[in-house]
Structure 1
Amino acid sequence: MDRQRLSRLAHARHPVAAPLADESVSRLLERATGHTEAGRMLDLGCGEGAWLIRALAARPRWRAVGVDLDADALPRARETAAALGVVRRIGLHHVDVREFGSAEPFDLVLNVGATHAFGGLLPTLAAVRDQLAPGGRVLVGEAFWEREPSQAALEGLGADRDDYADLGTTTDRLTADGWTPVDGHVSSRQEWDAYEFSWTGTLAEWALDHPDDPGAAPAREAADQHRAAWLHGHRGTLGFVTYLLRRD
């Protein structure tokens, strides 16, 4: 099963592909857009458009653009946007986020849990800098080490120790690069556990319900491996922070 399909299945009950509860998403969006009644937002790595569609549904004078390489996710985003009556205010582009450009800047740029597409947090911020309107904001989510990772945690994540830093060092790197955190959210253990149980459980249940699908066995294997890596490896080690940033 290809990675994009696996991710879509795993996130069916948790459309925000990050360890964030609904109330956390709502608060972050309110804080990110509350400075102006009308604006333009861009999500680089939008998937099925969960952040954008949710924002547009509550903000009738905002417009949005979503960019993603998953050709199957974008029609789903369009269907959801149509069902909620916001499809005329959203543009969806099937293109590599590294190649996307716009003639008009954006008041808010999002990249939550997709910094890998640019090669990390600071390269992501370097890429979005030119997309921002004066006074614009960036909502970016990134992993960090809650504690020193064990070898089991690193192996389960397929990560190296240097892939992430602790929260303080991660924040220091942002400020040294000319960004000011004006708000943020560190995902709680409860948010992480709910996200991981949803991810693995939804995928495993799909496999149980579709035993004749060629993807059933790979999906079940992926769910079992991910659950074991989480519970016996990185639970309590890998953190997740969502920053709201402005340029100095």
Structure 2
Amino acid sequence: MFTLLVDRQRLSSIAHSHHPIAAPLSGVTVNRLLRRTGRGPAARILDLGCGEAAWAMQALTHCPDGFADAVDISTYALDRAAVAAESRGLSDRLNLHQRDAREYVPDGDYDLVFCVGSTHVYGGFTPALRAAGRHLNEHGVMLVGEGFWQAPPTSEALDALGAKPDDFTDLAGLVERAETAGWTPIYAHVSDPAEWDDYEWSWVGSLTEWALDNPGHPDAGEVLALAREHRRQWLRGYRDILGFVTLVLRRAHRPAPADS
């Protein structure tokens, strides 16, 4: 197991330099998912565990009169988000909040809520649905991205992820958990191998490039070793075993009881 000494938030910011969407999804996929939400031009948007707020900013391009709040604990990620928002002319419609997503006071009137790749903040998929859903209005849509076992986990995959077999379910089981929690999927995207490879190679490559470009930095050796170890864990561990799905969810409204 690799013992990490370098600042985790800074490390994550470097790792996502070439892939600001902190999940194995392409830009084309993100736009398709946003179109499927069907939100209006003036939607209120919330991105929980936003990283560099890539989801929130892209949603604002689909909702030209909308406003977004994006929440994350990382100073590095939010600084990059602020620069990106300024360059895209979105600063006046995007509010960045540096805090733990669990501490963001529920509003209850957002039209669109994102929790993609950040369910761990809440302790898992089902608690994340419950917590993130409290921010959503009655007819709102929630996008939740979560891992699942695409194939039965091997011991190498479990070791690489530091996981247990019951940390994830299969895709059908994940959908069932969403429905049990009161949500109905109206669309979903399962990340394909090309999206996974692009994400992982971008993650490893960004760290490697940084270490090679900064050989005199005290963290360079550790960052290079970490990138190498992550690449090994991915290629020899969980590649083609861990899947990732982004679910587009709406509340399941119970039918009214028939008149007796």
- TM tier relative to shorter chain: over 0.9
- Contact 1:57–1:84 (CA<8 Å) still a contact in 2? no
Match of 1:26 among 24, 31, 35: 31
Contact kept, 8 Å, 1:97 with 1:117, in 2: the verdict is yes
- Corresponding position of 2:166: 162
Measure, in 1, the Cα distance between the counterparts of 2:212 and 2:202: 15
TM superposition shift of 1:72: 2.1
**SS state of the match for residue 246, structure 1?**
strand
Question: In 2, are the aligned partners of 1:47 and 1:74 still within 8 Å (CA)?
Answer: yes
| CA 1:103–1:127: 2 relative to 1, 3 Å | closer
Amino acid at match of 2:190: V
1:141 aligns to 2:139 (yes or no): no
CA distance in 1, matches of 2:215, 2:201: 21
Counterpart CA distance in 2 for 1:119 and 1:35 is 28
Deviations 1:106-163 (A, max 9, x none): 0011011010000001100110122111200100000000111111111111111111
Query: Which whole-Å CA distance do the structure 2 matches of 1:243 and 1:95 have between them?
Result: 25
Distance 1:224 1:191 in 2: 20
Q: Give the corresponding residue for 2:117.
A: 113
Aligned AA (1:48): E
**Residue 170 of structure 1: SS of its match in structure 2?**
helix
- For residues 186 and 110 of structure 2, the distance between their equivalents in structure 1, rounded to whole angstroms, comes to 18
SS in 2 for 1:72: helix
Cα 1:53–1:92 change in 2 (3 A) is same
Partner of 2:230 in structure 1?
Answer: 226
2:96 corresponds to which of 73, 92, 98: 92
Q: Write the distance in 1 (CA, Å) between the matches of 2:108 and 2:181.
A: 24
**Runs of at least 5 residues in structure 1 that lack an aligned partner in the other structure:** none
Give the corresponding residue for 1:206. Answer: 210
Correspondence for 2:71: 67
Counterpart of 1:4 in structure 2 is 9
Instruction: State how far apart, in whole Å, the 2-side matches of 1:55 and 1:213 are.
Output: 37
Local SS of the residue matching 1:7: helix
**Amino acid in the other structure paired with 2:23:** A
TM-score by length of 1: 0.97
Secondary structure in 2 matching 1:243: strand
Residue aligned with 2:21, SS: coil
Which deviations, in whole Å up to 9, do the C-alpha atoms of 1:164-193 show, x marking residues without a partner?
000011111111111000011000011111
Distance in 2, matches of 1:212 and 1:190, equals 34
User: Higher mean Cα deviation, 49-58 or 182-191?
Assistant: 49-58
Corresponding letter in the other structure for 2:199: Y
Distance 1:50 1:37 in 2: 18
CA RMSD of aligned residues (A): 1.1
For residue 200 of structure 1, report the CA deviation from its aligned partner: 0.7
Letter in 2 for 1:27: R
Output the CA distance in 1 between the equivalents of 2:39 and 2:103.
29
Q: Distance in 2 between matches of 1:158 and 1:102?
A: 32
